[in-house]
Amino acid sequence: MQRCWSLLFAAVNLSAIGLFAIAPAMGWWLPHNIASYGADVDRLFYIILIATGFFFVVTQSALSYFMFRFCAQEGVKAKNIHGHFGLELLWTAVPFAILVYIGFAQIPTWAKMKYIEIETWFPITYNGKNLDPDLHITVLGRQWEWRMRYPQKNIPADPLAWADLGNLQDLHLVNELHAWKDAKVRIHLKTQDVIHSFFLPNLRLKQDALPGKIMPVWFQPIEANVRYNTNTKTLEELNSSPWEIACAELCGGRHYRMRGKLFVHESKQDYERWFADSILKQRLHNSPPTQETLAAGIGVRQ
Amino acid sequence: MAKTPFIFSFFTKLLGLSAFSFLAFILIITGCSNSDSYPDDVVYPFRTDLLVDEVPKLTHDRLPGPGQLDKHIARIKELGGKTFNPRDLPENLRTELDSELNAIFGSPYKPTVGNPTLTEITSLAKALKLDEETLAAGSKLYRRNCLHCHGLAGDGRGPTGPWVNPHPRDFRQGKFKFVSSNPSGNKIKPRREDILRSLKVGIEGTSMPAFGLLSDQSLEQLTSYVVHLSLRGEVEFETVRTLLKKKNAVTELFELIPDAEPAKETIQEFVKLYLKDLLKAYQRSDLKGIEPAVYPELNDEQLLESVKRGYHLFSSSASDAFGCVSCHQDFGRQPLYQYDEWGTLVRPSNLTVSSYRGGRRPVDLYWRVKRGIPPSKMPGVTIPADEESKKIWDLVNFIEAMPFPSLLPDDVRSKIYGQVPRGVASLSEASK
């Protein structure tokens, strides 16, 4: 009877391993990578996954087997064991070696995520440079949405002062992050109330926003998902699954509502066309068109 | 060797059983309820909280603590205001009104405006996109997105409602703050696009988030449902208030609609006529917005001059100025809380911060200045039509420049920010 417990543990382990095997086929895997440094992040992820996955299988199989083999039996007395020096040395040395390896292996990737340009010669990084970004955006997290502010002409004269105060001609948007393919985007991340975490799964980017601080974040998308149609004045999505923005820090009751969309335009020109139209809409000095409204009846807009 | 004591095996079994039932429970509650619509036995509750008829003419220097809204409204009477308690309504009038409201406005599951016997109201409602189909879709969206703060009947008292500042809007008085309509007649209602704007970009500086990522169709449906709730609430509010004010005399109700010709003087008849009146007011408002004259293209120098004139309009108490500063004290940096028509405390906006609740487009600011924000006692400006646009644009230019010291003329800047302005950094940016 007692042996049944080992079967339960074995079943749980088997299903966990089975989940590994079928997850990629079911689409439960990493979201599509569009970041310049995304491949490095993914490679690190796989290295760690292989190490932890291997030891998970080994230790859990051993656990299940031992539970089955050495379960309490009638007439058998439990033995006292006082350790094994060689074994203990082994299971200290192996994780130590792995951790040291991971510690060094992540350095270049980490540096790439923090600096816009960096030269690396594994495992040493040098010459880290914060090159001039192509686009500045201020992102303000609040309960519960992301408020984005875009500067006129992409780069403000004094970016840090701009991140703090802004300008009259800025474009204000909520939950919509726009950039273009291959743009080096510098985000000035702020929060109005509590700690939020700005999470862009497709860009492999996650950064906490701390009250009272402006956090620097950067990314460079290498794929586009949207094209601006100047005739219809709408965004045409190029692929079906949206790239999302999320909050990765439980920030209150409606934390799940902090969901936005990432739009990567095909080119700088495309982005600028979209920007010009959007800013025009925001700097509107006359009532929105009403002629068609009157013709079509009531309450129809445009 | 002794067998395992019974008590142990009992506990292990119990543990296994409870783990299993917990998992089953989680699966049941997450997996089975997939519908967004309200249960069909839910009805709109008859109003029970106090009606604010008149607010005290007092200013406060701070807000009551969170969760104190109803307590605060209960105190209005002793502070010199006037409130009525709907519970004082005689039982027969109350049932009569409640059943008529339910007959016309349906339930959260099946919201309506009008019913098959009221052809005129139904067709008016249809023209305002208040048909059954749109409202049913709107009700689902409302339940998912808005209910949490705005409450079942749109009373602004959902579970999170009391804990946010400013309080979520109570739709039940049919009053809206950010309105751009310019209808003939004295009932000023919001245009659909006013409500749509608030939904789409949110209300900056409050807890109202932006729902811009919902589809346009969903936003239209939500707008219709909000109008539905405010129609129901306003009919209820006005009927109850007038009855309580006029010692429960039903005939007095009809003074609210002097133009109507009632067939008989009953509550049912009043509700129908009053609703028709309201629907027409919405229709009129929707058709005609405030149209500013064309904005003059200004060069930098002219803009500075315009800002200067705007400063004069804002801060002078001369007869040719608006004197906004009498309420927006210290350009809004010193809060002075006053009562709005819902009985909550609100303060004039701090205009040195570039955050505008009614929208940040220049035309939004124009509408705010022209129309005012009537429910919160901000008056609109009344000036001769020929100089209206020019003066209001001057004021709007000043308001827009106020948060950015570098955009202000030197003398104006020193008056707002003193000798060492806040935001020195942005000054250096301009001089580069």
Across the range B287-314, mean pLDDT stands at 87
Cβ contact A165–B180 (<8 Å): no
Across the range B225-244, mean pLDDT stands at 93
Task: DSSP letter for A157, please.
Answer: S
Q: Is A127 strand, coil or helix?
A: strand
Would you mind telling me the total number of residues written for chain B in this entry? Answer: 432
- pLDDT for position B313: 92
What are the residues facing B84 on neighbouring strands? B51
Q: Given pLDDT bands bounded at 50, 70 and 90, which one contains residue B377?
A: confident
Tell me how far CA of residue A250 lies from CA of A143, A194, B347, in angstroms.
11, 10, 31
Across the range B9-33, mean pLDDT stands at 66
Residues B188, B179 contacting (CB under 8 angstroms): yes
Interface pTM, i.e. ipTM: 0.82
| The amino acid at A31 | P
- List CB contacts (< 8 A) between B400 and chain A: 168
Interface of B with A in 223-262 (CB under 8 A): none
- List CB contacts (< 8 A) between B362 and chain A: 283-285
Mean pLDDT of chain B: 86
> Greater confidence, A294 or B339?
B339
List the single residue in A with minimal CA-CA distance to B367: A287
- pLDDT for position B431: 44
Residues A137, A188 contacting (CB under 8 angstroms): yes
Q: Given pLDDT bands bounded at 50, 70 and 90, which one contains residue B116?
A: confident
Residues B327, B357 contacting (CB under 8 angstroms): no
Would you mind telling me the total number of residues written for chain A in this entry? Answer: 302
- pLDDT for position B31: 55
Pairing of strands A135-142, A145-150: antiparallel
Token digits for A59? 């230790």
Q: Given pLDDT bands bounded at 50, 70 and 90, which one contains residue B99?
A: very high
Contacts of B197 (CB under 8 A, 6+ apart): B178, B359, B364
Residue in B1, B195, B355 to test binding to A, most A beta-carbons within 10 Å:
B1
Distance CA B388, CA A33 (A): 55
The full DSSP string for A53-116 is: HHHHHHHHHHHHHHHHHTS--TT-PPPP----HHHHHHHHHHHHHHHHHHHHHHHHHHHHHHSS
Considering CB atoms only, which of B1, B192, B287 is closest to A74? B1
- List CB contacts (< 8 A) between B160 and chain A: 253
Q: Whose CA is closest to B197, among B171, B182, B176?
A: B176
What is the b/e burial string over B120-151, where b = at least 16 CB atoms within 10 angstroms of the residue's CB? ebbebbebbbbbbebbbbbbbbbbebbbbbbb
Per-residue pLDDT of chain A (302 residues; tens, 9 = 90+): 677 788 888 898 889 888 888 888 888 888 999 999 999 999 999 999 999 989 988 999 998 898 888 888 888 888 888 889 999 999 999 999 999 999 988 888 888 888 777 776 665 666 666 778 899 999 999 988 999 999 999 999 888 889 988 888 899 999 999 999 999 999 999 999 999 999 999 999 999 999 999 999 999 999 999 999 888 888 888 887 789 999 999 998 889 889 999 999 999 999 999 999 888 888 888 766 554 444 444 332 32
Across the range B256-269, mean pLDDT stands at 84
- Cis ω on the peptide bond leading into residue A121 (within 30° of 0)? no
Least Cα separation, residue A94 to chain B (angstroms):
36
Say yes or no to pLDDT of B426 above 50. no
Q: Is the minimum CB–CB distance between B428 and chain A shorter than 8 Å?
A: yes
Query: Quick count: other Cβ atoms within 10 Å of Cβ B280?
Result: 16
| The amino acid at B239 | T
Q: Whose CA is closest to A120, among A131, A130, A132, A107?
A: A107
Distance CA B425, CA A165 (A): 9
Distance CA B425, CA B430 (A): 9
Q: Whose CA is closest to B395, among B286, B279, B276, B312?
A: B312
Distance CA B185, CA B94 (A): 31
Q: Given pLDDT bands bounded at 50, 70 and 90, which one contains residue B420?
A: low
- pLDDT for position B288: 82
| Torsion, Cα of B157, B160, B164, B168 (10° steps) | -40
Say yes or no to pLDDT of B10 above 70. no
Across the range B44-65, mean pLDDT stands at 88
Task: DSSP letter for A171, please.
Answer: E
> Exposure of A284 by Cβ count < 10 A (0-12 exposed, 13-18 middle, 19+ buried)?
middle
Question: In chain B, what percentage of residues exceed pLDDT 90?
Answer: 37
Give me the residue label for tokens 């880290």.
A128
> Greater confidence, B401 or A281?
B401
Give me the residue label for tokens 């010199």.
B80
Q: Is the minimum CB–CB distance between B201 and chain A shorter than 8 Å?
A: yes
Least Cα separation, residue A298 to chain B (angstroms):
7
Q: What global pTM score does this model have?
A: 0.85
Distance CA A274, CA A235 (A): 8
Interface of B with A in 101-160 (CB under 8 A): 127-129, 148, 160
Dihedrals phi, psi of B105, to nearest 5 degrees: -100, 0
Cβ contact A175–B404 (<8 Å): no
- pLDDT for position A301: 30
Least confident of B4-18, B152-166, B356-370: B4-18
